[in-house]
Amino acid sequence: MKKKQIDIILRNQHDFFEKGVTLDISFRIRALQRLKACIKRNENAIHRALQKDLGKSSYESYMCETGMVYSEITYMLKHIRSFARDEHVPTPLAQFHAVSFKKPSPYGNILIMSPWNYPFMLTIEPLVDALAAGNTAVLKPSAYSPHTSEVIRKIIQECFPSSYVAVVTGGREENTCLLQQPFDYIFFTGSQAVGKEVMRHAAEHLTPVTLELGGKSPCIVDKSANLRLAARRIVFGKFLNCGQTCVAPDYIYCDRSVRSALVEEICKEIKRQFGSDPLRNPNYGKIINEKHFRRITGLIDPKKIAFGGNVNPKTLQIAPTVLTNVSFKDAVMQEEIFGPVLPVLTFHSLDEAIRRVNALPHPLALYFFTRNKSAAKKVMTRCGFGGGCINDTIIHLATSEMGFGGFGPSGMGSYHGKDGFRTFSHYKSIVDKKLWLDLPMRYQPYRFLYEKMVRFFLR
């Protein structure tokens, strides 16, 4: 899409927002209902596109993409009126008589830039929150998942005029053009490297941003853990979408006394979930493109393979792979893996594990497997991370009741449910002062009695 077309879209959206149409809660509700109905009509097309882009089965596509979007829309439709109400707060006695409240107001024109790993869900879920808050939006899905991007474009065109919601497809040229525009808010999901560029461009216009990034999310396993159940849940979280999940366990960090038993259980569980030959499993997906396929295979040290390691360059598939005898100096520990490769490292004590995790950049997620409640409290309290689970993986993001996001290198800001509504809203602080009383103490000339009154109120 050319710069001139993008300029026209933004100008039209600005004009549409200025009319105040999106301020009406009933208008927002109808928009969300229309979006949900359109997704349902196109559900099979969405799933076919996800299969072409990432090899996802229809089951996984519903569980992790369309179903998640339905859930978010349903939640918003249920709560939008309460979220949009003015929030009344106490007024200081010094401001007697007045009413104080915070008014949630839409920012205006939102840019949502989404990645390729969950291309439908990570585009539409933020849109749901943005529309619920009363904004207009421009969507920029990833060029790496073209089939899904095309379905998204068709759905949005079917649902909304481009003056309300528009889709811009393309690659770096379009990204750069969009980031040069004066949006009122930018919501970005993707890599840390691109996140820095987004933030740098946003700074030119002092545009607020939410960054949903990633990082090396640790999976800590202590010696008290239920190893069989831990293995099952770790294998699910790690190899879902072939490891191309921002909150996938990036590596296992386990007590050295249970490493062998844990690895044995993980190998059993991989066979159980994916079969003896995962590359022939029709429900096992593929790496998004050849570039990432080569990057991931380059992180596999053949000498350290405990399980898997098989690849198919023609189909861009990498079998679930477990690496042992790995150290923090190995290549696989120098970057976020974002693929079906699971390194296993060990620690001598839980305190050592906590110190090591905290010495690394804050991860987007952290998982801890244990039967010891005090140990769980210790890890969850002392380690820095965006969100996580005790005795499970990745499910913390599958709820609209809690915000999802990272901090530091793993991102800033959050969304889902009320947190999503708040992300795309500016809360105006307003004092409605009554006319029938006007306390004189703030006005000059200052008097001794008034000073006494000020000191009484402000203490």
Give me the pLDDT at residue 453, please: 87
Cα 239 from Cα 349, distance rounded (Å): 28
Average of per-residue pLDDT values in the chain: 96
Mean pLDDT over 143-167 rounds to 97
CATH of domain 3-213+408-427: 3.40.605.10
Residue 376 CA: distances (Å) to CA of 108, 203, 366, 454 = 42, 39, 12, 49
- On the question of pLDDT at 175 being above 80, the answer is yes
Cα 8 from Cα 110, distance rounded (Å): 15
Q: What one-character-per-residue DSSP string does 311-376 give?
A: EETTTTEE--EEE-S--TTSGGGSS---SSEEEEEEESSHHHHHHHHHHSPPPSEEEEE-S-HHHH
Which residues are part of the catalytic machinery? 212, 246
Which pLDDT tens digit goes with each residue over 87-123? 999 998 888 889 999 999 999 999 999 999 999 999 9
User: What CATH number matches the domain at 218-397, 3.40.50.2000, 3.40.309.10, 3.40.50.720, 3.40.120.10?
Assistant: 3.40.309.10
- On the question of pLDDT at 223 being above 80, the answer is yes
77 within 8 A of 29, measured Cβ to Cβ: yes
Rg (CA), the chain: 25
Q: Which of 10, 35, 284, 1 is nearest to 143 (CA)?
A: 1
Mean pLDDT over 36-65 rounds to 97
Q: Are strands 341-347 and 251-255 parallel, antiparallel or unpaired?
A: parallel
Mean pLDDT over 387-397 rounds to 96
Residue with tokens 């000339």: 445
* CATH 3.40.605.10 residue window(s) in the chain: 3-213+408-427
* CATH 3.40.309.10 residue window(s) in the chain: 218-397
Could you give the percent of the chain with pLDDT greater than 90? 92
82, burial (CB in 10 Å: exposed 0-12, middle 13-18, buried 19+): exposed
Mean pLDDT over 151-180 rounds to 95
Confidence of residue 441 (pLDDT cuts 50, 70, 90): confident
Q: Six-digit token pair at 274?
A: 């994916």
